[in-house]
Amino acid sequence: MKDEKNEDDESIVEGVVDDVLPGMGKLVKRLRKNSPELNRKIKEKDAEIKKRLEEGYSPEPKIQYGVRVRTLAPERKETAYKPQKMEKPEKKIIEPVVDLFDEGTTIRVIAEMPGIDEEKIALDLQGSTLLISASDKRRTFQKEVSLPCEARLEKQRFQNGVLELTLEKT
């Protein structure tokens, strides 16, 4: 009799489901009766929830501070992190992402150079070679693009770090 009463009692999981979706708790109860596996899993979750409530479960994570560095060298297995003198990094040369479209009588070149101002961009078009470069305090963009034929600059547009060039084939 006592076992039947425990099975008929509403579990914590059923109560939460019923609170979130009214009426669904009864469906879960019926499914529990027909599925021993679901019944077992709900009992496990109920036990876990009860244990957390008894222990005073806190949703805040426990944080441990410290840094360890493991190297592959056999002499040292673990070493503590030691801050080193910061040196000013050298200016990086970055190749921008460039797309080239042959559109019949024109060639369209699109280059991505985020964080650069338009006045810092330099273009050098010699025959069928286009050199795109731009530089600021932190970085330098530079890319040499081989064009399918000789061309001359017809239109230039720069917006949101994207340079768009329209070149007329000669």
Residue with tokens 């070493």: 79
Q: Is residue 74 in some structural domain?
A: no
Going by their DSSP bridges, the two strands 97-103 and 129-135 should be labelled as unpaired
CATH number at residue 157: 2.60.40.790
Tens digits of per-residue pLDDT, 61-95?
Answer: 666 666 666 666 665 555 566 666 666 666 778 89
Distance CA 4, CA 148 (A): 83
Q: Is residue 84 in some structural domain?
A: no
Tens digits of per-residue pLDDT, 103-144?
Answer: 989 999 999 999 899 999 999 999 899 999 998 888 899 999
Are 147 and 128 a contacting pair, CB within 8 Å?
A: yes
Pick the closest to residue 125 from 107, 104, 102, 105 (CA basis).
107
Q: Is residue 64 in some structural domain?
A: no
Same structural domain, 51 and 99: no
What is the identity of the amino acid at 135? Answer: S
Same structural domain, 163 and 113: yes
Q: Is residue 79 in some structural domain?
A: no
Domain total in the chain: 2
Same structural domain, 152 and 96: yes
Mean pLDDT calculated for residue range 20-29 = 79
Q: Is residue 110 in some structural domain?
A: yes
Which three-class secondary structure state does DSSP give residue 120? helix
Q: Is residue 108 in some structural domain?
A: yes
Mean pLDDT calculated for residue range 144-151 = 92
Range of the domain at 138: 92-169
Are 125 and 142 a contacting pair, CB within 8 Å?
A: no
- The pTM of the full predicted model, rounded to 2 decimals, is 0.48
Q: Is residue 81 in some structural domain?
A: no
Q: Is residue 140 in some structural domain?
A: yes
